[in-house]
Structure 1
Amino acid sequence: MAMTKREALEVIQFVRDVFNIDFDKNKGTAWLDLLTERGDYEKTMRNAKNRASDGNKFRPSLSEIIITSSNVSDAVVKDVDETETHAYKKRHDENYAKVMSDMEKLRNRLVSEVQDDE
């Protein structure tokens, strides 16, 4: 779940106070937009606190602080109908299995020919 504007402002205030980072209008707006659109408040705040106590001498960037509410992999994963998968078709569709078998034989023959030429 994306964080609220109030939560994003709390993160920004914490980062500003702890890391002594000045936020001009543009930087503040950029952080606020990204935090409210993508940030998970609890995870981001916990990450900021961990970063504050890890001994790192460098000021963090937003990408080092923000923890998104959903991983990139979550956005990529789709519900897939099992009957549309290669493995399912190969086991349950005779025509598909035959075509795949023929293609595998062709591939193996071509690999063998290339190896013989070397």
Structure 2
Amino acid sequence: MYDIDTHGAWLGDAADDLTPEQLERFAAEWDEISARYPTRDDDDEANAALSACVQYLLEEATVEAAGIERRRTQRAEMLALAAARQVARMAALDGMPKATAARTAGVDRMTLLKDLGERPARRTARS
């Protein structure tokens, strides 16, 4: 059930743009989102989901647009990771401690070791 104190405070002016039925749907989605993202550490994800919920209800967001944005950001993440791995590799080769280079660049340490040719190859089931 829609609660103006709880939901209205989050919605702000957007509450004026939603119909009573949309406000009820928002309240139901709020409960689902809160269950999916239950801790303070999840606040960014919860707020993104709530924002998307409102945009969808106001017909400002579509499934297609959400998919396009998701794929765009996945590609951006892939490219950023490639750059971070390269810089961490070069910093390690220049004498920065490998663990520091990996941590500072946001790269898995074992990935950095692999990029440096220092991680042993994985054994296969037949090895």
Q: Same fold (TM over 0.5)?
A: no
Greater RCO between the two (CA within 8 Å, min separation 6)? Answer: 1
The higher radius of gyration belongs to 1
Q: Under a length normalisation based on structure 2, what TM-score does the superposition of the two structures give?
A: 0.29
